[in-house]
Amino acid sequence: MVTKKISRYYRIILILCLCFFVSGVGFIFYMMKESNQKNIAYFEESVENMKTTVNEQIANNMETLDGVALTLGEMKVMDLKHLLPIIRKINDRNAFYRMGIIHSNGKADMVDLDGTIHHKVDFSSSPIFQSGMQGKLTISKTLKDPFSNNYLNYYSVPIISNNQNIGVLLAADKTERLRSVLDNAIFSHSGYSNIIDSNGTYIIRSMKSATVENIGDIGNLSEEQLTSIHQNLKDKTSHFFTYDEDKQTYWCLYTPLSYNDWYLLSIVNENMINADHTLIYGIILLTGFALLIFLLLFYLINRTHNRTKQHLERLAFADPVLGISNFVKFSIDVEEQIIQRKDAFQPFAFWYGDIDNFKIYNDTFGYEAGDALLKIMCNCLLANMQTHDFFCRESADHFTGIRFFQEPNQLIEWHEHIMKAVIAKEHCNTHSFPISFAIGFYCVTKPEDVLSVNKMYNRAKMAQQSIKANREIRQAFYSDTIRQNILHINEIESQMQLALKNGEFKMYIQPKTDTHHNHRIMGGEVLVRWQKSDGTIIPPNDFIPIFERNGFIVLLDRYMFVSACKWLYDYFENHTHRIHLAVNVSRLDIFQEDFISYYVSIKEQYELCDDVIELEFTESLAIEDHALLSAKISELRTHGFLCSIDDFGAGYSSLNTLKELPIQVIKLDILFFRKGASIEKARIIVSHIIHLAKQLHIAVVAEGIEEPDQVYFLEKCGCDIIQGYVFAKPMPANDFKKLLLKDPVGYWGEGFLKESD
């Protein structure tokens, strides 16, 4: 009995919903039909207004000419000498493109608006002349002007004197003036108009119109429609019809004008007129779909309530890939099992870690392989859990958890064991990819160290981030030092954009001396110093590594390059002594798509000659991707840049660098010149590098030189350029310029021994 009542209840609801839907749809279609009829009436009204405007435009021109013709007939003046001043005066007021008189022999004398005169132009066979001589007021079709690139419409009226037609007054107007009237959109800026003749041929076409020659060419008109259209044109009657083109429906209305056999042809896209119909159809479908969903939900809601609840719990607390707890559930477990149970406290570590280069792994082997690696990591963690340990996947390849311990070394051993297990299982999948899992620990050894979940998570993450870029160290324990380092990085990153905007990054230059010319200054290396508004100077080592990690180094590179170009431009404006500046380029900058175009455009903007700007690239970049760097250097050299390798000898492929890269300069790494037990071996290596570079026609710069004996040694070896404290420390750009002005010849370095004595 209950089942029958429920079924009857469902049927009643279904019938009511259907009745509501059908009646609503019927009412909507009725309103759409009424709206369509109103739109047609409005379209016809718009076309009639356009017709009136076009007729008035032509009529005004005809009326003006007719009045002028009447005046000329009364004056009985037809010779050009007397007519031209009159025509010019009249045309100055009416702004016809051209005016003139066709004499009874069909020859016309005309003057343009700009004063150009045309004599004896033959109009004898033109309908304009013939109609005018018959006493008719006429407007011509669109004609190509033989004296210009313009298209014109000619107006002609007879000149009557003593009841005799003695000639025709002629005026030409640019077709674009009448077209501008047609381009005034009809029907709320949705349509456009053209002028056609009784054959359907286009006389004046709107700029919005398709490039067709005849009304029969528009859309896909049937033979029956074409016959009806041409009959209506012959009968000089108005007619409304529709046609389809490119899956669009268009309304079309033509109506006769007052002149010639011309018609105004107006067209509007039905979709523009009935744009709201599409919305209405959508509403009908959406309403019907909503009713159907309502009925289905009404039927299923009780049956699926429990299933939905269970599903929501899985979504809320389970990881969709691994099936373990997600961070929400993990946070609840930490709160319930640790934070709220301090009375049963045991030392534990809150850990956070992620898989190095997991995105590259995904891109290389595919997302299925990436998910498989996550499952391997998860299974290894599960296999090495203690009784009260628990963990979750926070997101992507990021895992976090709780590990109980007695000694910190136990955490390190546990992590290393996990990594060995992951690597062993991953290699079974034949992926030759180095797997590493950097991890950070926040150790809680007493109850008062227990913090909120988010705070402990952040501290473990801080510890992990402190070693993320270090491939040698894979575990880190949170400390105040790490916290201060992270805060320092955050402080630097929060200030860097404003510092760049306010010009706090200052250009310093360390002079370079030429060993072949008695150590005269031949240029310098551009260096950066961060001078805050309060005068505090932040050393480069405190911010350059941060900028290299977050990508801001690209903006700083370019800022310093622009500063160097501007300095050189200002210097060469007043001095002829040729110097060059070396600017460092980071590895991130060279990978930018606009790297070449940007540097070349700035050099050209400041009109710098070739070989005054040197771009320094690190040897580590040459080792990583020498093919890319070689291509970039070759292109830069074609644009007049000097290119050098910085820190030469710091890598493992220095000789290969010399062989593969089209560089012009190498800078010997400062490590070669530091004092130590191996100084003699270092000098042997340096001398041979310089000798090899000479044979390859590569200039050699030694940087970091601090002692006179190093200078003597480098001179003896044939080193070309020396840079270091033995001559000068990096100095502000203005001080460098003063140094050059103080010794314009450039032999400043000659006395370096005196300063060292």
User: Three-state DSSP class for 505?
Assistant: strand
User: What does the CA dihedral 288, 290, 295, 301 come to, rounded to 10 degrees?
Assistant: 170
| The predicted structure's pLDDT at residue 348 | 96
pLDDT at 649 over 80: no
H or E segment at 40?
A: helix 2-75
Q: Say how far apart CA 266 and CA 313 lie, in whole Å.
A: 63
DSSP state letters, 132-180: HHTT--EEPPPEE-TTSS-EEEEEEEEEEETTEEEEEEEEEEEHHHHHH
Amino acid at 424: A
H or E segment at 606?
A: none
- State the residue for tokens 């899985």: 314
State residue 699 phi and psi, 5-degree precision: -75, 150
704-724 residue pLDDT tens? 898 898 999 999 999 999 999
pLDDT at 292 over 90: no
Backbone dihedral region for residue 523 (phi beyond 0: left; psi -120 to 50: alpha; all else: beta): left
Token code pair at residue 360: 């590259």
Token code pair at residue 580: 């060059």
| The predicted structure's pLDDT at residue 714 | 93
Contacts of 91 (CB under 8 A, 6+ apart): 99, 111, 113, 171
572-618 residue pLDDT tens? 998 888 899 999 999 889 989 999 999 999 999 999 999 999 999 98
- CATH number of the domain at 183-273, out of 3.40.50.720, 2.60.40.10, 3.30.420.40, 3.30.450.20? 3.30.450.20
| The predicted structure's pLDDT at residue 543 | 94
The sign one gets for the Cα dihedral 141, 147, 151, 154 is negative
- Domain 36-173 shares a fold with domain 183-273: yes
**Percentage of the chain lying above the pLDDT 90 cut:** 35
- Is the full-model pTM beyond 0.75? no
79-90 residue pLDDT tens? 667 777 777 777
Domain boundaries 491-749, corresponding CATH code? 3.20.20.450
CATH homologous superfamily of 327-478 equals Reverse transcriptase/Diguanylate cyclase domain (3.30.70.270)
pLDDT at 106 over 60: yes
> Of the candidates 158, 180, 178, which has an alpha carbon nearest to the alpha carbon of residue 169?
158
Q: Are 644 and 668 in contact (CB under 8 A)?
A: no
pLDDT at 745 over 70: no
Q: How long, in residues, is the chain?
A: 757
- Which has more confidence, 508 or 199? 508
170-191 residue pLDDT tens? 889 888 888 887 877 676 666 7
State residue 449 phi and psi, 5-degree precision: -85, -10
Q: Say how far apart CA 531 and CA 552 lie, in whole Å.
A: 17
Name the DSSP class of 575: -
Token code pair at residue 5: 């009542």
| The predicted structure's pLDDT at residue 631 | 92
The sign one gets for the Cα dihedral 243, 246, 250, 252 is negative
Most confident of 190-204, 377-391, 431-445, 731-745: 377-391
306-328 residue pLDDT tens? 677 677 777 788 898 998 999 99
pLDDT at 676 over 80: no
Q: Are 546 and 569 in contact (CB under 8 A)?
A: no
pLDDT at 501 over 90: yes
Q: Say how far apart CA 379 and CA 422 lie, in whole Å.
A: 9
Q: Are 123 and 108 in contact (CB under 8 A)?
A: yes
Mean pLDDT (the chain, rounded): 84
| Residue-range domain boundaries for the chain | 36-173, 183-273, 327-478, 491-749
- CATH number of the domain at 36-173, out of 3.30.450.20, 3.30.365.10, 3.40.50.410, 3.30.300.30? 3.30.450.20
Instruction: Give the number of other Cβ atoms within 10 Å of residue 42's Cβ.
Output: 14
Name the DSSP class of 335: I
Name the DSSP class of 343: G
| The predicted structure's pLDDT at residue 757 | 38
Token code pair at residue 452: 């909120």
Token code pair at residue 244: 């389809």
418-474 residue pLDDT tens? 999 998 887 666 566 788 899 999 999 998 889 999 999 999 999 998 888 777 888
408-433 residue pLDDT tens? 999 999 999 999 999 888 766 656 67
The 3-state DSSP composition of the chain as helix, strand, coil percent (nearest 5) reads 50, 20, 25
| The predicted structure's pLDDT at residue 561 | 98
Lowest mean pLDDT among 335-339, 688-692, 749-753: 749-753
Lowest mean pLDDT among 91-105, 159-173, 394-408: 91-105
The band of 524, judged by pLDDT with boundaries at 50, 70 and 90, is: very high
- C-alpha distances in angstroms, 648 versus 329, 668, 698? 53, 5, 12
Q: Are 216 and 226 in contact (CB under 8 A)?
A: yes
